[in-house]
Structure 1
Amino acid sequence: MIADLLLDPFADFAFMRRALVGCLALALGSAPVGVFLMLRRMSLTGDAMAHAILPGAAVGYLVAGLSLGAMTLGGVIAGLAVALLAGAVSRSTALREDASLAAFYLISLAAGVLIVSMRGGTVDLMHVLFGTVLALDDAALTLLCAIATLTLITLAALFRPLVLECVDPGFLRSVGGGGAVAHFVFLALAVLNLVGGFHALGTLMAVGIMILPAVAARFWARGIGGLIAVAAGIAILSGWAGLLLSFHVGLPSGPAIILVAGAAYLGSLVLGPEGGLVARLAPRPHFEN
């Protein structure tokens, strides 16, 4: 009976299988990026960039409707532009990068909602803001899988400089380790994964599948390899469980997936062996002579 509840929706309905494949691709691509964002103390930067893609996607929508190619291209251009502009502002003025990102993402969010509202109705706006993971077609799945594949290959190629930049960016600069190139390539990967998540979960939820599994993994693993593996596992389980909740209870699929990821974070916060509340409060054995 329990197996039927857990597996039958995916065995009986093609749209559920497509949604599960899309969530799997998102998990494999976004979770490792989320781990590096967390280690680089850039978690809120990911949230800002997620909102920054909205006006570009909205312009694509304005030009071509709900076109996968147009909205993807517009989102990538807008996300990269905001990331570069925020960096330029922080380097040329007294404003810090987090403040400039916050300013740009608020402007981007308002502009994107306005652009979508000018042409579409409430349904189109909800599609852009919250995604349609249950309506992924072959083209969207191909895009998500391509982004995940590109992300994993690129992270493997840049693993050493990315880790060094997390641990000691000054040392990486001093030895000419390509820190600037690795940084901008990493930002491009973050934008690509946010655009992919945008098509499935919408601009308001895309960053959730990237950041929540990563911060939850912090309570279960220490090494970067372990963090990436645990984060990807939590993201995959969140997608699977969120889709089941959506199917059986009638919840919106995108928010259900992110709420499951949020529950995993809260559970990890309490029960995680690596700095969780229970582990910190538990009595520790004293050394004896």
Structure 2
Amino acid sequence: MNFTDLFIAPFAEFEFMRRALVGIFALALGAGPVGAFLMLRRMSLTGDAMAHAILPGAAIGFLVSGLDLFAMTFGGLAAGLFVAVGAGVVARATELKEDASLAAFYLISLALGVMILSVKGSNVDLLHVLFGTVLGLDDPTLYLVAGIATFTLVTLAVIWRPLVLECVDPAFLSSVSRAGAPSHIAFLALVVLNLVGGFHALGTLLAVGLMMLPAATARFWVRDLTPLVCLATAIAFVSGFAGLLISYHVGAPSGPAIILVAGGAYVVSVLFGPAGGVIARRFPQRHFEA
């Protein structure tokens, strides 16, 4: 098997492979930067919790209207925002910490979503919502994912400075500006939006993988923010490209293949990454002494 047959032919011959590749590219553009900020803000598990939180809304939309894009998107978005706002309200009105409140909300949401699909739907419906159908993306879904990516990049450009300041020194930001709270709310909305977009391709269980694994991988290679965002986006896209090829040639499910490729890149980076990897920490380079 030559290079063309291995890497190019699947996308040249089959339209569904080209659609999947375009969808993954759009997801990477939005999820890469968002995942980098989630990691820097120590909110990685928040992304995972929000991915599970959209399940009951998407499930209700699926049962009401079937595979209707608007119904599932609106349901998932409403459920995700409800969990994010509800967890924040409970944390501020009680002595419970926000992480514990969010964990409680997302566990209830996950159980509710699985219960709805199990009682009212079928096993096929459950698998579709949990693991997505990246090889079945149609034009409206591609437009939705591309729109979310565009909106994400534009919004990040607007709130970039307060987001960076809040990562570095939130106390200083609160003392010189009131942009901290609005930028945080806008960022949470971007997280939910990108998870809803990723849900259509990778399902609720795997959508967060394309957001967090590339960001964590990139952190072992660069330390500055802008290169980190760019590298995380590139790793997300390459993981999607390689995962689709593995799925095509081996016959494995596409969504898990994509996330496993990203996971493999993470493992390699943990071992060999120059910015804090195992080998770099064990055998640090010597610096010239004056």
Query: TM-score over 0.5 for the alignment?
Result: yes
Any idea what SS the aligned residue of 2:101 has? Answer: helix
Identify the residue that residue 224 of structure 1 maps to in structure 2: 225
Q: Which amino acid aligns with 2:279?
A: V
User: CA RMSD of the aligned region, Å?
Assistant: 1.0
Distance in 2 between the 1:15 and 1:270 partners? 36
Identify the residue that residue 40 of structure 1 maps to in structure 2: 41
Identify the residue that residue 89 of structure 2 maps to in structure 1: 88
Distance in 2 between the 1:78 and 1:185 partners? 16
Identify the residue that residue 109 of structure 1 maps to in structure 2: 110
Identify the residue that residue 71 of structure 1 maps to in structure 2: 72
What is the correspondence of 1:2-41 to structure 2 with a 5 Å cutoff? 2-41=3-42
Distance in 2 between the 1:268 and 1:286 partners? 23
Distance in 2 between the 1:230 and 1:178 partners? 27
Any idea what SS the aligned residue of 2:54 has? Answer: helix
Identify the residue that residue 254 of structure 1 maps to in structure 2: 255
Any idea what SS the aligned residue of 1:220 has? Answer: coil
Distance in 2 between the 1:61 and 1:198 partners? 13
The Cα shift of 1:100 comes to 0.9
Identify the residue that residue 271 of structure 1 maps to in structure 2: 272
Identify the residue that residue 153 of structure 1 maps to in structure 2: 154
Deviates more, 1:84-93 or 1:207-216: 84-93
Say yes or no: does 1:193 pair with 2:211.
no
Q: Which amino acid aligns with 1:273?
A: P
Identify the residue that residue 212 of structure 1 maps to in structure 2: 213
The Cα shift of 1:195 comes to 0.3
The Cα shift of 1:284 comes to 2.9
Distance in 2 between the 1:138 and 1:132 partners? 14
Q: Which amino acid aligns with 1:88?
A: V
Distance in 1 between the 2:187 and 2:47 partners? 11
Percent identity (aligned): 67
Distance in 2 between the 1:286 and 1:148 partners? 42
Give per-residue Cα distances to partners, 1:78-101, cap 9 Å, x unaligned.
101101111111111111111111
C-alpha contact (below 8 Å) 1:52/1:79 kept by paired residues: yes
The Cα shift of 1:177 comes to 3.7
Identify the residue that residue 233 of structure 1 maps to in structure 2: 234
Q: Which amino acid aligns with 1:144?
A: V
Give per-residue Cα distances to partners, 1:104-141, cap 9 Å, x unaligned.
11110010011122222111110000000000000100
* Structure 2 gap ranges (5+): none
The Cα shift of 1:283 comes to 4.5
Q: Which amino acid aligns with 2:230?
A: A
Question: How many equivalent residue pairs?
Answer: 289
Q: Which amino acid aligns with 1:276?
A: G
Name the CA shift for 1:54/1:283 in 2 (closer, same or farther; >3 Å): closer
Deviates more, 1:153-162 or 1:86-95: 86-95
Say yes or no: does 1:49 pair with 2:62.
no
C-alpha contact (below 8 Å) 1:161/1:177 kept by paired residues: no
Distance in 2 between the 1:71 and 1:50 partners? 14
Deviates more, 1:263-272 or 1:116-125: 116-125
Give per-residue Cα distances to partners, 1:8-35, cap 9 Å, x unaligned.
1001000000000000000010010000
Distance in 1 between the 2:140 and 2:171 partners? 42
Give per-residue Cα distances to partners, 1:52-90, cap 9 Å, x unaligned.
000111111121111110010011111011011111111
Distance in 1 between the 2:246 and 2:116 partners? 32
Any idea what SS the aligned residue of 1:270 has? Answer: helix
The Cα shift of 1:171 comes to 1.1
The Cα shift of 1:4 comes to 2.0
Distance in 2 between the 1:184 and 1:284 partners? 42
C-alpha contact (below 8 Å) 1:22/1:141 kept by paired residues: yes
* Structure 1 gap ranges (5+): none
Distance in 1 between the 2:138 and 2:287 partners? 59
**TM-score by structure 2 length?**
0.98
Distance in 2 between the 1:176 and 1:212 partners? 32
Distance in 2 between the 1:206 and 1:8 partners? 27
C-alpha contact (below 8 Å) 1:19/1:136 kept by paired residues: yes
Distance in 2 between the 1:116 and 1:265 partners? 33
Distance in 1 between the 2:277 and 2:270 partners? 5
Name the CA shift for 1:244/1:160 in 2 (closer, same or farther; >3 Å): same
